[in-house]
Amino acid sequence: PAQSNFSGVQHSLDWVEQAQRRGWDVLLDAAAFVPTNRLDLGRVKPDYVVLSFYKMFGYPTGVGALLARRRALEKLQRPWFAGGTITVASVQADRHYQAPGPAAFEEGTQAYLTIPAVDIGLQLIESVGIEAIHSRVTCLTGWLIDALTSLRHDNGQPLIQLYGPATTDRRGATLSLNFHDRVGRPIDHRSIERQANRERISLRTGCFCNPGAGETALGLSKGELDACFVRSHRRMTFDDFQRCIDGKSTGAVRVSLGLASNFDDVRATARFAEQFLDWGDDAED
């Protein structure tokens, strides 16, 4: 990924060329990166790029893109097919030929009612300027990091554990963190989310569809996880999982800033966090 959707860390785009020199085809996940950063595909030349228009300007939901260089797209052969992705198919011959170019990978009916909004969104980004968006969001991110990481309980213990860089150097506007009580125990991230919902603050909690990064950041070992899955032979609920991983957090809280964010948003987030100061044994939601 150009930017981790868990920690916000931004990886060097030089890795693309380094991997290609070693014979790899490179897919660059730019979904978290491009909403607030310029990606120059004339300089950085991955074979494939995935992005989300929803993450860029908030609408339309469920619409993204896979950008592929023509020579890279020609390498892809699908073992299955669906409507609109083939030229010829036969049941008795058990053969099919995929359609040429992008059509081979665009299954079914495209979202033709919402795709036109993409053009409007891109015009908006262009009118504001991606550099201006980047500068503004970087400033907001830096202020919020400083505000959150400075919060201390009355005994000096930090309230917030931040995952990823503690400055704006090589990090994006994705802040993943956990709240800890005055004796250092994690406060259930679901409690944080419920309270945020009451105060009309939009947060996301969990592992953010990135369990690998989450397990590493939260310090969950393979042995611990194996034991939990062995213990639950058929099905495991999240509550079961949380009881199994006793004493550790099973998820995190994520704050994401972007095009529409302003200083009132980050100040409200910092004030929201302050209410969890000096939580102790009796501080349960």
Which residues are part of the catalytic machinery? 209
- Can you say whether residue 47 is alpha, beta or left, with left for phi > 0 and alpha for psi between -120 and 50 degrees? alpha
Cα four-point dihedral sign 147, 148, 150, 152? positive
- The span from the CA of 285 to the CA of 275, in Å, is 13
Cα four-point dihedral sign 223, 280, 143, 270? positive
- And the tokens for 268? 């409200």
Closest CA relative to residue 171, chosen from 179, 163, 183, 181? 163
CB 268 within 8 A of CB 201: yes
- And the tokens for 247? 């004493």
